[in-house]
Amino acid sequence: MILTGQAIANAVKSGDITIDPFVPGQVNPNSYNFTLGPSFRVYKEGVLNPREKNQTDEIWMKDGEIVLQPRRLYLAHTRERIGSKKFAPTYAARSSVARLGMFINLSASLGDIGFIGQWTIQLFALHPIRLYEGMAIGQMMFWQPKGEIELYEGKYQGAYGPIASRIHRDVAVEPVDTENALMVGE
Amino acid sequence: MLLTGGKIHEEVCRNAITISDFDENNLEPNSYGFRLGEEIIVYDEAEVDGLGPRRTTKVTIPEHGYVLEPDRFYLGHTYETMGSNEYASEIYARLSTSALGIFIQTSAPLGHTGAIVKWTLEIVVAQHVIAYPKMLIGKICFWENTGEVRGYAGRYAGSQTVIPSLLSAEAP
């Protein structure tokens, strides 16, 4: 079951859902609108390697604005701390934002019960798009789970600001000779 | 809980779900297959301002098809009017569509309870592919609500064709 907006507002009041800050005007029939923070991370040029910490540049909006370059990945973050110890979260772009010609997640819309923090979202524009600090960019939905709940204790818990992939922490492997990775066309 | 195809059919008959026009052949085990409408729009601006006004060009997909290009962004719409005052909904591409490299939404699958519209689709393709009017393109599924339902009264309420982003309404 998906929570209605009224159920989300009630759960925020009772503490079952954290949305901080919470603005009643951002409640939708089945979701809550979250807003865009001013800072981003973009990966440095080169081939990303899931077995290593990949280097990023931090980018800040200028005068509260940024123009996304097309087909470049920007890791952004929600200004709100969001999560729940009782309901499973998923998030989506607001329809108005998707219609601008951009993704805000790349097929990773499902969160974990127990994660509470600022969400890192993946902005990917299909042409240059100008965005503004604090604009309502996406929406969080909450779902009633079935079964015993084990709370999230993962590597992104309590996230603040845009977080680069920590996938390299998943695998404790011998350092590999990346020179031998197969390149396209080989 | 997710509605099965049989339950979707039942709720369409009860008018708790609107799918118009409805063809029971398009019922799936837990969704309903919808078709692509005839109108497509593209943005004219080189840079799209999130909160700015925008200019668009509308194209009607001819019967013999329209070639979608990988470096463009298109807005299309569902042929059917779909939604419910009792259930929330989500749309996804059909496997047959995404297996051709077609996205039909860019991370915005949710349909709010009370939004009964021709859905605008955000179309991106991985390689050149021909779109035909009324081709089966996606599927809609319906979710039970928990909590008090307050219907959708947003800016896209009642949409009957493809609508570009109206986000400029939120400009300060």
Check if the beta carbon of residue B91 is closer than 8 Å to that of residue B139. Answer: yes
Looking at beta carbons, which residues of chain B come within 8 Å of A103? 106-107
B30-59 residues touching A, CB cutoff 8 A: 43, 46-52
Convert the pLDDT of each residue in B75-112 to its tens digit: 999 999 999 999 999 999 999 999 999 999 999 999 99
C-alpha closest to that of B82 among B133, B11, B146? B11
> Residue A176 pLDDT > 80, yes or no?
no
Preferred mutation among A23, A86, A96, A123 to probe B, highest tally of B CBs within 10 A? A96
> Residue A147 pLDDT > 80, yes or no?
yes
Q: Nearest-5° angle of CA B34, CA A108, CA B27?
A: 20
Check if the beta carbon of residue A136 is closer than 8 Å to that of residue A34. Answer: yes
Q: How confident is the model at residue A45 (pLDDT cuts 50, 70, 90)?
A: confident
CA closest to A110 among chain B residues: B107
Whether a cis peptide bond, with omega within 30° of 0, leads into A21 is yes
Convert the pLDDT of each residue in A47-89 to its tens digit: 999 999 999 999 999 999 999 999 999 999 999 999 999 999 9
> Residue A178 pLDDT > 70, yes or no?
no
Residues linked to residue A83 through DSSP beta bridges, in sequence order: A18, A116
User: If DSSP codes are grouped into helix, strand and coil, which group holds residue A180?
Assistant: helix
Preferred mutation among B73, B85, B110, B156 to probe A, highest tally of A CBs within 10 A? B110
Where do the structural domains in chain A lie, given as residue ranges? 5-147
Question: What pLDDT does residue B54 have?
Answer: 86
Looking at beta carbons, which residues of chain B come within 8 Å of A97? 50, 108, 165, 167
Question: What pLDDT does residue B151 have?
Answer: 86
Q: What is the mean pLDDT of residues A97-106?
A: 97
What distance in Å separates the CA atoms of residue A159 and residue A77, rounded to the nearest whole number? 9
Domains annotated on chain B, with CATH: 5-45+53-146 (2.70.40.10)
A33: left (phi over 0), alpha (psi -120 to 50) or beta: beta
Does domain A5-147 fall under CATH 2.70.40.10? My reply is: yes
Give the strand pairing for A2-3 and B145-146: parallel
Residues linked to residue B118 through DSSP beta bridges, in sequence order: B81
pTM: 0.93
> Residue A185 pLDDT > 80, yes or no?
no
Is A3 within 8 Å of B146 when comparing Cβ atoms? yes
Q: How confident is the model at residue A94 (pLDDT cuts 50, 70, 90)?
A: very high
Per-residue pLDDT 10s for chain B (172 aa) are 999 999 999 999 999 999 999 999 999 999 999 999 999 999 999 999 999 988 999 999 999 999 999 999 999 999 999 999 999 999 999 999 999 999 999 999 999 999 999 999 999 999 999 999 999 999 999 999 999 999 898 999 999 999 999 999 998 8
What distance in Å separates the CA atoms of residue A93 and residue A103, rounded to the nearest whole number? 7
C-alpha closest to that of A92 among A107, A80, A79? A107
Of B122, B143, B148, Cβ closest to residue A2: B143
Q: How confident is the model at residue A186 (pLDDT cuts 50, 70, 90)?
A: low
Is A96 within 8 Å of B165 when comparing Cβ atoms? yes
Whether ipTM exceeds 0.90 = yes
A59 is written with which tokens?
Answer: 């980018």
Strands (E), chain A: 2-3, 17-20, 32-35, 39-43, 56-60, 65-68, 73-84, 88-93, 102-103, 116-125, 129-132, 136-143
Chain A: residues touching B (Cβ < 8 Å): 1-8, 10, 28-31, 67, 92-106, 109, 126-132, 135-136, 139, 141, 144
Q: What percentage of chain A has pLDDT greater than the value 70?
A: 91
Shortest distance between the Cα of B107 and any Cα of chain A, in A, equals 5
Place of tokens 């798009």: A129
B16 is written with which tokens?
Answer: 């708790």
Question: What pLDDT does residue A179 have?
Answer: 63
Q: What is the mean pLDDT of chain A?
A: 93
B122 is catalytic: yes
The one-character DSSP state at A52 is: S
Place of tokens 């059919």: B9
Is B108 within 8 Å of A5 when comparing Cβ atoms? no
The one-character DSSP state at A14 is: H
HEC per residue, chain B: CECCHHHHHHHHHCCCEEEECCCHHHEECCEEEEEECCEEEEECCCCEECCCCCCEEEEECCCCCEEECCCCCEEEEEEEEEEECCCEEEEEECHHHHCCCEECCCCCCEECCCCCEEEEEEEEECCCEEECCCCEEEEEEEECEECCCCCCCCCCCCCCCCCCCCHHHHCC
Is A126 within 8 Å of B109 when comparing Cβ atoms? no
